[in-house]
Structure 1
Amino acid sequence: MIELKTPAEIERMQVTGRFVAEILTEVGRIADVGVNLLDLEHHVRDMIARRGAESCYWDYAPSFGRGPFRNVLCLAVNDAVLHGKPHDYVLRDGDVVTADIAVSIDGWAADSARTVVVGTPAEEDLRIVRATEEALEAAIDAARPGNRIGDISAAISAVAADHGYPVNDEFGGHGIGRTMHEDPHVSNIGRAGRGLTLRPGLTLALEPWFARTTDKIVFDEDGWTLRSADGSRTAHSEHTVAITEGDALVLTRREDELATQGA
């Protein structure tokens, strides 16, 4: 069942979205060579507690995971890309780190992810990170009233094709609002003009993610972390957006992105 949100409800989601953006800005600031993933997890736990928010991840137990998930942050390193469980790992020079976070404030959720390279970056790692960011912006641009879900999916897969990256269609974007995962599913592969018609009030989490040389994924031994099947490095970018009468409203936009766009 798809629930369209009122302007007032979208404003409440935007409050949550700003906090999610704040968290990812902070993670990007402190993720560095020598930092333990568990320290990032506990730092974010403190931020959530101080804000009086609730983690959407804690005790999450979907059919695909070995639940319940007992962390507030997903952290995936190098060939890991989705649902990474924070563990005792110290970041090394050149590591690619994806942080994914969803929280709820006063009953309204927001979800976002970003990938950063710590220390000295390799150009091929920066390239795949930029590709997911470009695909996300293309998806946001396609998220307009009268367009269809397939237009969003096609925009993502077109960017991947331009960069030569294969695309997995098992995990993608989703509706969001009162809970983290709502209908509809938003695949990262699709055909323009197909699927649900986008209407004002629809709120979606759009999340292109790519692995460098494969569209296949495998589960880690922890039962949660998803890795590229061939060990190639990965990246993931995600924002929560609201369909409006015009351009999509990005509820989780970070200040560093706004500064870049304004430059």
Structure 2
Amino acid sequence: MESNYKTALVTGASSGIGAEIVRRLTKDGLQVHALARDLSRLTALQEETGCVIHAMSVDDLEGLTALSEKLPVDVLVNNAGQSRKGDILNTTAEDVDALIDINLKAVLHMTRLFAPGMVERDRGHIVNISSIAGHYAFPGGNTAYHASKAGVHSLSQQMRVHLYGTNVRVTEISPARTETEVFGRLLGNMEEAQRRFFDEYESLKPCDIADSISFVVNAPQRMNVSFMEILPTKQVLGGLNFAKRTA
């Protein structure tokens, strides 16, 4: 299908879900701007798709501000994110700061910088990639990561209130386990991550998330898919643990 929008900006675009979003939105006919830190991967993606690349971090506020002043975009996809090992009992100050800065604060700044132009043009769509970690508590997840993604969920809800009455739509995409490099970075070994998390499980693929975003972006203007939770067919949420009483 051909999108009613013309331009898109995707953060965290050099690999995984972000790169697939760039490919899919380009296929939909948008001029896609890909933002990430890895210039070599961005260059390869540019050669493949024809996207416009911006090699910077989402915590580069000065760079993002300059970009927003010269780049009107119809679709903003806040995809960039990090994860870290550990929970609140053994995490570090650096881990907490990094997760909040990249996963939440950057989303706030990107929205603050680009949403006013959408409102002025009365045209736009903001897509925030959160996580099931922002909605459910489960063992093994970093506490600050869960908190940062919960913040993205709350932000998405509040944005719809503030954009009420305009033609700017807001969608939150909340994926469960997706086969990306993030697990390899956590373990420091992608082969180990592949064996531990994916070889024996049928997980989501980055293209599944990109296809979902294409669907919501290309939906009729009268329709806003406000929230989409995407799970592998054989992954379930919930469960109750009860610790035994000890002497």
TM-score, structure 2 normalization: 0.32
Between structures 1 and 2, the one with greater strand share:
1
Between structures 1 and 2, the one with greater helix share:
2
Question: Greater Rg, structure 1 or structure 2?
Answer: 2
TM-score, structure 1 normalization: 0.30
